[in-house]
Structure 1
Amino acid sequence: MGIGSQVISVIFRLFELIAGSVVAGMVGEYLHYVSEAHDSPSHDMVYTVAIAGISIVVSLVCMPPLKYAFYGFLLDAALFICWMVAFGLLVNLKGGVGCESDWCYSNWGYYWGGYYNYYPVSSVTAQGVGNSACGKLRAAIAWNFIGGWFWLLSALLGLYVVLRFRNEKKKNASLDQPGNHTIEVGNSKQSGEMSSLGKEYTGATDASTTVAHL
């Protein structure tokens, strides 16, 4: 677990926290307006804000680049899937490139604009509500998508770190096996014997040379 992996992990967690906070803030405010109007919110929005809240907690817990944060890569992968589901639900509610669905003006725009204080939802029209809250919905969808991909990146980083750690652990365990030490001792002993034989041979050669000179 190197310094580089730890720094990258903190960056990923920071973006996950930001994305979760933005989505939770925008969707949570919408749910607040719906609650004030004593109406029932969209189940898709309830799901989205729940995933955003869970993501905020998990990103804060996993922010310190400790070992447990990397071992949670399966949770990161699960949250990525949850975020992509929420993204699909929000895009389906929005409809088209702009905010073209009936839900955008009769629900999202209706509550964001505070029209529930003056008119029943049955009397509002797309022209009357307009697209004033469309930018907020687009921002929530965009941060939903961005946050989801950072959860995937965290999952891939965690998987890489865990596999690398296990490989290093296996390598160190194989080096610490008794058989390896025996081989090393045997090789050292054999090298010592060869060195002794070399010295004896050198000594015999020198003696022969001396006798020849005499």
Structure 2
Amino acid sequence: MILVDLLSMILRLAELAFAAIVAGLTGDYLHSVRGSSSWDQGRFIYTEVVAGLSILLSLLWLFPFSGSFIHWPADVVISICWWVVFGLLVNFLHGNCGYVFNWYGINFDGHNTCPQWKADIAFAFLSALCWLVSAFLGIYWVHRRVAPDGTYHRRRWYRSRV
């Protein structure tokens, strides 16, 4: 089970890094349009909230204790939130920067904002995948365990009163 703990820690670090990148890129945009209507910037405020919540939860659940695997329902919810962020950001571009996953010819010269938006979208997508894999890993850990003789037994999600 040390491999599962190591994979969980790697996923949590990736979730932390991806959320921090998305928070930074989106925060930079929100800073540049400060003073505009909050209703017009709702999708970016939502992105910042999801990124902040992801940073907090990935820090709390970073260390591989057995209790960190039972949070897989929260991992599913955060993954769904990241998928919504991905859809909102893709919808915002409306194809103005070309195909979302077409990275050919992109350079970071400081004048073009398309690379920043594509990076924001890509890291939101990667974060959604990492949270989803963490959820599947938690489901696997909760429902399977290895007995001392090497056989697998189903792990109960509730505690027995006896």
TM-score, with structure 1 as normaliser? 0.60
Aligned residues: 138
1:133 aligns with 2:113: yes
TM-superposed CA distance for 1:12, in Å, is: 0.5
Give, as a single letter, the amino acid of the residue that structure 2 aligns with 1:85: V
CA distance in 2, matches of 1:86, 1:10: 24
State the Cα deviation string for residues 51-95 of structure 1 (Å, max 9, x = none).
Answer: 011000101111000012100000000011000011000000011
Give the aligned partner of residue 67 of structure 2: 68
> Is this contact kept in 2: 1:5–1:157, CA < 8 A?
yes
TM-superposed CA distance for 1:97, in Å, is: 6.7
1:148 aligns with 2:120: no
**3-state SS of the aligned residue for 2:141?**
helix
Structure 2 counterparts to residues 22-33 of structure 1, below 5 A: 22-33=21-32
State the Cα deviation string for residues 85-130 of structure 1 (Å, max 9, x = none).
Answer: 1100000001127269xxxxxxxxxxxx8xxxxxxxxxxxxxxxxx
> Is this contact kept in 2: 1:34–1:40, CA < 8 A?
no
**3-state SS of the aligned residue for 2:27?**
helix
Ranges of 4+ aligned residues in structure 1 off by more than 2 Å:
165-170
The gaps in structure 2 that reach 5 residues or longer are 100-109, 146-151, 157-162
1:164 aligns with 2:144: yes
**3-state SS of the aligned residue for 1:64?**
coil
Give the aligned partner of residue 189 of structure 1: none
1:96 aligns with 2:95: yes
Structure showing greater relative contact order (alpha-carbon pairs closer than 8 Å, 6 or more residues apart): 2
TM-score, with structure 2 as normaliser? 0.79
The gaps in structure 1 that reach 5 residues or longer are 101-112, 114-130, 171-214
CA distance in 2, matches of 1:160, 1:71: 10
Give, as a single letter, the amino acid of the residue that structure 2 aligns with 1:167: H
> Is this contact kept in 1: 2:142–2:155, CA < 8 A?
no
Say what the alpha-carbon RMSD is for the aligned residues: 2.1
Identity %: 38
Larger CA Rg, structure 1 vs 2: 1
CA distance in 1, matches of 2:67, 2:28: 34
1:40 aligns with 2:37: yes
Give, as a single letter, the amino acid of the residue that structure 2 aligns with 1:141: I
